Amino acid sequence: MRLRPVDALIGVMFFAALGAMLLAVRGEGDVAALLFLGAFLADALHSAAPTADAAHRLGVELTNVVRLIAFGICPGVLLCFAYLPLGREIGIALGGTVVVTSAVRMALQAVRPLEGATISSGLPRAFSALFVVALSASSVFEYEAVRHVAIGLLPLVAALNVTRIPFLRPFVQPCSWGRVGLCALLAASVGIGFALGSGFDVVLFWATILLFAGPIAAWRPMAARERGA
């Protein structure tokens, strides 16, 4: 068993997540969230690579472990420290929910496949983690009412990791000009957002679209396959 060159992104993902957690402990939540975005981008690029064969099984297993760290433990830690002003118990409970659902999803992947070529069973951990981190780092999170509403919302988002609801996996879709244009729009809007000082508000906007549009987009190819069967 051996690693592929693209598996170097696994290391980028790991160290970005580790740095984010260390910065969160030091109280630098905004910089920690930026490092998490680096881990998310590394995972997106890794997911876009061709699927590993049996000879590269080591990279597959390393990816599963690092994704638990980057999209389970890391967002859980960031969320825990974001909620410290409202109470340590609330932060631990919310962060623990993110970690537990991510770990359960990893265990489920070991006993039954959760992901097909383009469709995932349940919300992929990377996207639930993106929503959690983007919300906690956005300007709307500064409002106490939003933080209280999120106490009920965030566990529901985390729980989507272990459901049977189909979600589209956008980074493994066949390449097309439409998808290239959409990625360019996404990158440009996020870049402009950070330039204007509201980058995580833009990231939260796109994460919310992925959260709600994922099942709808996944239903269309599934329905087409059923009609063709």
Q: Give the highest mean pLDDT range of 106-110, 139-143, 214-218.
A: 139-143
CA distance 71 to 75: 6
Give residue-wise pLDDT tens across range 14-72.
999 999 999 999 999 999 999 999 999 999 888 877 666 655 677 778 888 999 999 99
Higher-confidence position of 174 and 154: 154
Amino acid at 116: G
CA distance 90 to 143: 17
Over residues 206-229, the mean pLDDT reads: 62
Residue 224 is predicted with a pLDDT of 42
Over residues 101-109, the mean pLDDT reads: 90
Element (H, E) at 166: strand 166-168
pTM here?
Answer: 0.87
Q: Is 50 exceeded by the pLDDT of residue 9?
A: yes
- Helix and strand totals (H; E) in the chain: 9, 2
Confidence category of residue 75, pLDDT binned at 50, 70, 90:
very high
21's tokens? 């957690």
Give residue-wise pLDDT tens across range 163-203.
888 887 766 655 666 667 877 888 899 999 999 999 999 99
What integer best gives the mean pLDDT of the chain?
A: 84
Q: What are phi and psi of 50, to 5 degrees?
A: -55, 150
Contacts of 43 (CB under 8 A, 6+ apart): 9, 13, 67, 70, 71, 126
Q: Parallel, antiparallel, or unpaired for β 166-168 and 119-121?
A: antiparallel
* DSSP at 26: T
Over residues 106-132, the mean pLDDT reads: 80
Give residue-wise pLDDT tens across range 144-153.
999 999 999 9
Q: How many CB atoms lie within 10 A of CB 107?
A: 11
31 within 8 A of 67, measured Cβ to Cβ = no
Q: What are phi and psi of 83, to 5 degrees?
A: -95, 5
Kindly report which listed range (18-22, 95-99, 164-168, 222-226) carries the lowest average pLDDT score: 222-226
193 within 8 A of 139, measured Cβ to Cβ = no
Q: What are phi and psi of 121, to 5 degrees?
A: -85, 110
| Cα angle: 160, vertex 57, 40; to 5 degrees | 40
154 within 8 A of 132, measured Cβ to Cβ = yes
Confidence category of residue 156, pLDDT binned at 50, 70, 90:
very high
CA distance 173 to 35: 26
